[in-house]
Structure 1
Amino acid sequence: MQLGLVGLGKMGGNMRERLRNAGHTVVGYDRNPDVSDVASLVDLVDRLEAPRTVWVMVPAGAATHGVVQQLATLLKPGDTVVDGGNSRWTDDEKHAKQLGARGIGFVDAGVSGGVWGLKNGYALMVGGEKECVDRLKPVFDALKPEGPYGYVHAGRVGAGHFAKMVHNGIEYAMMQAYAEGWELLEKVDSVDNVREVFRSWQEGTVIRSWLLDLAVDALDDDEHLQKLRGYAEDSGEGRWTVEAAIDNAVPLPAITASLFARFASRQEDSPQMKMVAALRNQLGGPAVEGASLGGGGGGGGGAGDDGPGPLLMSAGARCSYNHEPTRAPAPEGT
């Protein structure tokens, strides 16, 4: 099959190679002339035979909007555009309407696999009309991993990117869980080989995963992660996942907490913790580091003899005014 591919970065370039290895003809365009097969989008479209398919792999937002707008003027009725980037599903609906007015089909494809996709294949979550999706099945089959899994026609336009968004939200939470476990293991004196503990989990445990394998690889490179700064960006899809949960009244406590943890990582001197420290000091708590804040009544505590008071107690402490201890949860079955 013949395919135009716009955007030849790490993923797009590897996808071009994987498709060519499977026998497909791929004409690639990128602003970097060193990797591009043609000089412009116009040249790319001219090189393709009708009905044309152009797969877009550029950053979500303005870059994708711009490419789709250009393709809308260059392609003809019966052609198809595939957005394989990390666009928001609501953008898919707009693009499908814009292209559909000109008789051009639109398919959204959530793509997962990163830099390993060339060798291992890409997981594909696809949205769009059945006719358009079915015509592209040879391309999807070439890109996905070997075997029966790794590809799904998730539903109508927007479903592919929505599924990929939820996938990335789950990824946020899984990363956060591994990170929290690692920090706790590093903190205690009794565990002196945290890296090998993580390695021992790679076989036979219920938490084994590709992310765990990558964590072990990272610890092999830098056993205590001393070369890294504790700062984590977010791609935007975690935010979209939480927003979709709010819109649909679906509780996502783990994914939401993992997103907020990334926000916290960007604060070298947390404004929120300044307020918490100030309140603890006012209530007669421990001394505040780096500042001397007055008040609080000293010694016994400004909130009375019970210390910090109900509003600032930890969840593991007492949780009711009659000071009855909370009941411990029953152990899980695994």
Structure 2
Amino acid sequence: MKLGMIGLGRMGSNMAQRIALGGHQVVGFDLNPQARKELEAKGAASADSLAALVAALPAPRTLWLMVPAGDITDNTLKDLLSLLAAGDTVIDGGNSNYKDTVRRARIFAEKQMDYIDCGTSGGIWGLTEGYSLMIGGEKAAVERARPLFEALAPAKDQGWGHVGPVGSGHFTKMIHNGIEYGMMQAYAEGFSILKHKSEFALDLHQVAEIWRTGSVVRSWLLDLTSDALGKNPNMSGIAPYVVDSGEGRWTVDEAIALNVPAPIITQSLIERLRSRDDDSFTDKLLSAMRNEFGGHAIKSE
């Protein structure tokens, strides 16, 4: 099978390499010439424009997008619509909002093109460990792309699945990431409590290693946490600023829309937002309130 890969950031490039290792031909495109050179060094071909990429693929074509959610995805798809033909397939492997995915799929359906959404998890480890793939789309289109999913997954029959119609793949990945927020927050808070119990002088890396085997809280995320603690026990040089890429916000929005209580995921999102406020007016006002009603001392900056 010959695939066109659009977006050769670290994850896209690694996915292209894994697909190529699975015996498939890959032609990649990225606006960055260096990214194209790096893909070529991994044994795949590259194209210097979307038009050249489409021309290099046999019909019916299959193209995989790994570009940021939002306007970049919309603009790329708009350019592709004028280049592709009926019977071609586009797979969006990025973290698009599922509502955008449903809208985009309708546009492609009008042109008799298939649109598949593939929620993709695995990050920088996917090249060696395989990717977790949550796939939405028409059954026939997903089945035609099966060789690609089998090449990317940890095994042909593990770590991937067709979860439902168009939009369901990105919806499932959105909830996956919301759960991830809560898990990360729980680990971070627990290890912080351990660290603050100074009289015990606990070795956090040792504790994480103990928990990795046999414990009910063991997970791959704990494996990565242990690795981070082993490299940098005090988190030296790391600013207490946690970014979010949007999926947590979308998960909370969906929970509210569906009247589903999701306090853990919601609070973990709030904690990420709180981490960005290095001059918290909220905390300053709280301190002032305590002084007003109770005469409690205010700590000066």
Q: What is the aligned counterpart of 1:86 among 78, 95, 115?
A: 95
Q: Percent identity, please.
A: 49
Amino acid in structure 2 at the alignment position of 1:65: D
Amino acid in structure 1 at the alignment position of 2:233: E
Other structure's SS at 1:278 match = helix
Q: What is the aligned counterpart of 1:133 among 127, 134, 142?
A: 142
**Cα offset, 1:198, TM superposition:** 1.8
Q: What is the aligned counterpart of 2:171 among 162, 168, 171?
A: 162
Q: Where has structure 1 moved over 4 Å in runs of 4 or more?
A: none
Other structure's SS at 1:216 match = helix
Alignment of 1:194-273 (within 5 A): 194-273=204-283
Amino acid in structure 2 at the alignment position of 1:266: R
Deviates further, 253-262 or 189-198: 189-198
Q: What is the aligned counterpart of 2:191 among 179, 182, 195?
A: 182
Q: 1:277-306 CA deviation, whole Å, 9 max, x = no partner?
A: 122122215311128xxxxxxxxxxxxxxx
Amino acid in structure 2 at the alignment position of 1:138: P
Distance in structure 1 (CA, Å) of the matches to 2:21 and 2:236: 40
**Cα offset, 1:147, TM superposition:** 5.8
TM-score (norm 1): 0.85
Tell me the residue number matched to 1:73: 82
Amino acid in structure 1 at the alignment position of 2:13: G
Tell me the residue number matched to 1:307: none
**Kept after mapping to 1: 8 A contact 2:204/2:229:** no
Q: 1:234 to 1:190 in 2, by over 3 A?
A: same
**Cα offset, 1:35, TM superposition:** 3.2
Tell me the residue number matched to 2:2: 2
Q: 1:57-111 CA deviation, whole Å, 9 max, x = no partner?
A: 1111011101111111110001111100110001101110111111111000000
Q: 1:268 to 1:90 in 2, by over 3 A?
A: same
Amino acid in structure 1 at the alignment position of 2:3: L
Other structure's SS at 2:86 match = coil
User: Does 2:43 correspond to 1:46?
Assistant: no
Distance in structure 2 (CA, Å) of the matches to 1:6 and 1:258: 33
Tell me the residue number matched to 2:42: none
User: Does 2:32 correspond to 1:32?
Assistant: yes
**Cα offset, 1:189, TM superposition:** 2.3
**Cα offset, 1:34, TM superposition:** 2.8
Q: What is the aligned counterpart of 1:117 among 119, 126, 135?
A: 126
Distance in structure 1 (CA, Å) of the matches to 2:156 and 2:264: 32
Distance in structure 2 (CA, Å) of the matches to 1:112 and 1:32: 24
Other structure's SS at 2:23 match = coil
Amino acid in structure 1 at the alignment position of 2:71: A
Tell me the residue number matched to 2:40: none
Tell me the residue number matched to 1:146: 155
Distance in structure 2 (CA, Å) of the matches to 1:266 and 1:81: 37
Other structure's SS at 1:108 match = strand
Amino acid in structure 2 at the alignment position of 1:131: A
May I ask how many residue pairs the two structures share in their alignment?
291
Tell me the residue number matched to 2:39: none
Amino acid in structure 1 at the alignment position of 2:272: R
Structure with more contact order per residue of length (Cα contacts < 8 Å, sep ≥ 6): 2
Report which of the two has the higher share of helix: 2
Tell me the residue number matched to 2:71: 62
**Cα offset, 1:194, TM superposition:** 2.4
Q: Which runs of 5+ in 1 are unaligned?
A: 292-334
Tell me the residue number matched to 2:43: none
Q: 1:201-236 CA deviation, whole Å, 9 max, x = no partner?
A: 111100011111111111111111122111100011
Q: 1:155 to 1:71 in 2, by over 3 A?
A: same
**Cα offset, 1:146, TM superposition:** 1.8
Distance in structure 2 (CA, Å) of the matches to 1:155 and 1:186: 44
Distance in structure 1 (CA, Å) of the matches to 2:282 and 2:205: 33
Tell me the residue number matched to 1:95: 104
The two structures, once aligned, show a CA RMSD in angstroms of: 1.2
Tell me the residue number matched to 1:22: 22
